[in-house]
Amino acid sequence: MKHSFKLLSRVLGTTAIFLASHGAHAECDTVGTTGVLGFKMAVASNFYLSAKERAGAFQAGKTYDILICEGSSGDLYNEIVPDNEPQYALFMSADTARPADLAGTPLAIGNAVTYAKGTPVFLLSPIVYTASTAAYPARDYLNQGLLSGATAESSIPGTTVTNDVSIKRPPATPSVNFLAIGDPAKAPYGAAAQLILSAMGFGGSSVFSAGGSYNTPCSTLVGTGQWICSYNNINITLDAINANSVTAGFVSYGQVCPTLTSSSYPAGQYVLFPDYPTTQAYILLNVTDTTAETKAAAFISFLGIGTTSWNTWLTDHCYQEL
C-alpha cells in the first residue's frame, strides 16, 4: 500500500517537519562553498558522515554546492510525502521499505536501489568506558555463551565474543542500568536494536520515548521498571550515549567507524552485531528544477554502487558488502 509509513506517522502523532536542531527534525549541512545550490539530498542519520565524505569528493571542482539533510528515515520520508516540499532530489534511507513505498508514484524517478548494509553496534558511554580497567570493557557488559541470545562479533582483531550473548542487567556487575536505542517506528537501527533485544530475551521491555532529549539522563525520564530510552534518530541516540545519559546504546558501526571518526571510538568500546543488518536503499526524486535531478543522478553514478570499488569503499567505511 502506497504511503503506508505516512499513515503510521499520523497515527503516532508525528508533527510537521522543519529545518531545526535536534528533535524530530532534519539537520542540513552544505558541501561546497560556491554559494550556488545544485541539489538537495535527504540521508538517514547513520549514513550522514559517509554521505558527506562522498559528496565532498564529488563536489570538488563543481560550480555548485550540495545540501545534505539528515534525520531518521521515517522523519525524512514524512517530509517527502505527500508533495516533497523540501525538494529533495535524492533520498538515501536506512531501510528498503520506505524508498520502495515511493517507487511508482509521481514523487519518484525509477526504482529503489540497495546501496549499503549496515551493522548495529552495542556502544558504551564514554564515562563507563574510561572508568573500566578491562581491555575490552564493552564485551564485559554482555553475558556470553548462553543457551539462547543474540549473535555478536568482536570489534578487536584477535579477540572473540562467545555466542549467544545478552546484556548484563542488575544485580550483575558490571551491568547496563539504562540503554539508548533509536525510535523503532522511525529509525531502522532502532528496529534492528529491538530485534537484538528480543533475541536477548528483552522483547517485552517497556521503552520510554525520549525524543530529542539526549542531554537528560534516561534515569530521570523513565517510569518504574523502565530502563530503555528511544530517541528520534540514530545520531541523537549517539548523542545520548556521548552525553553519558545512558550506560550504553545501540547505534551504527558507520557512526563510530575509525575511517570517519579518526578513532574517536576505541574498538574496546563497542561490540558488533552483523547478523542484524539494516539493508539500505536510495531513490531519486522528482523536483521542480530538472537540472537538480540530473546532478543527483550524476552523484549516484559517481558512487558506483554495486561495483567492486563500491564494496571496497563500504567495508573501509564499516558497512557490509552488497
Cα angle vertex 235, ends 231, 240, to 5°?
Answer: 55
Instruction: State the residue for C-alpha cell 541516540.
Output: 237
Distance between CA atoms of 128 and 149, rounded to whole angstroms? 23
End-to-end CA distance of the chain: 27
Q: Sign (positive/negative) of CA torsion 283, 303, 43, 255?
A: positive
- For domain 120-272, the question of CATH label 3.40.190.10 is answered with yes
34 phi and psi angles, rounded to 5 deg: -75, -25
Task: Provide the pLDDT for residue 262.
Answer: 85
CA atoms within 13 A on the CB side of 96: 11
Measured CA to CA in angstroms, residue 101 lies from 6, 77, 78, 135, 175 at distances of: 10, 10, 12, 45, 40
Residue range 54-96, pLDDT digits in tens:
999 999 999 999 999 999 999 999 999 999 999 999 999 999 9
Q: Are 9 and 15 in contact (CB under 8 A)?
A: no
Cβ-based neighbour number of residue 95 at 10 Å: 24
pLDDT in tens, the chain (322 residues): 344 433 233 222 222 223 333 345 689 999 999 999 999 999 999 999 999 999 999 999 999 999 999 999 999 999 999 999 999 999 999 999 999 999 999 999 999 999 999 999 999 999 999 999 999 999 999 999 999 999 999 999 999 999 899 999 999 999 999 999 999 999 999 999 999 999 999 999 999 999 999 999 999 999 999 999 999 999 999 999 999 999 999 999 999 999 999 879 999 999 999 999 999 999 999 999 999 999 999 999 999 999 999 999 999 999 999 9
Dihedral sign, Cα of residue 132, residue 134, residue 138, residue 144: negative
Backbone angles phi, psi at 69, to 5 degrees: -115, 130
By CB atoms closer than 10 A (0-12, 13-18, 19+), residue 245 is buried
- Rg (Cα) of the chain, in Å, rounded? 19
Structural domain boundaries in the chain: 4-118+278-316, 120-272
List the strands of the sheet with 108-118, edge to edge.
27-31, 65-71, 37-44, 90-92, 278-285, 108-118
Record the cell numbers describing residue 84, joined without a space: 516533497
> What is the Cα 100 distance to its own chain's centre?
18
Cell 538537495 -> residue? 40
Query: Are 253 and 117 contacting, i.e. CB atoms less than 8 angstroms apart?
Result: no
Cβ-Cβ contacts under 8 Å for 152 (sequence gap 6 or more): 122, 142, 161, 163, 165, 271, 272, 273
Reading the block at residue 268, the C-alpha cell is 574496546
- Classify domain 4-118+278-316 at the CATH superfamily level: Periplasmic binding protein-like II (3.40.190.10)
Same fold across 4-118+278-316 and 120-272: yes
The whole-model pTM stands at 0.91
CA distances from 286 to 52, 210, 292 (A): 22, 34, 9
The number of angstroms, rounded, from the C-alpha of 112 to the middle of its chain's C-alpha atoms is 18
> Collapsing DSSP states into helix, strand and coil, what is residue 59?
helix
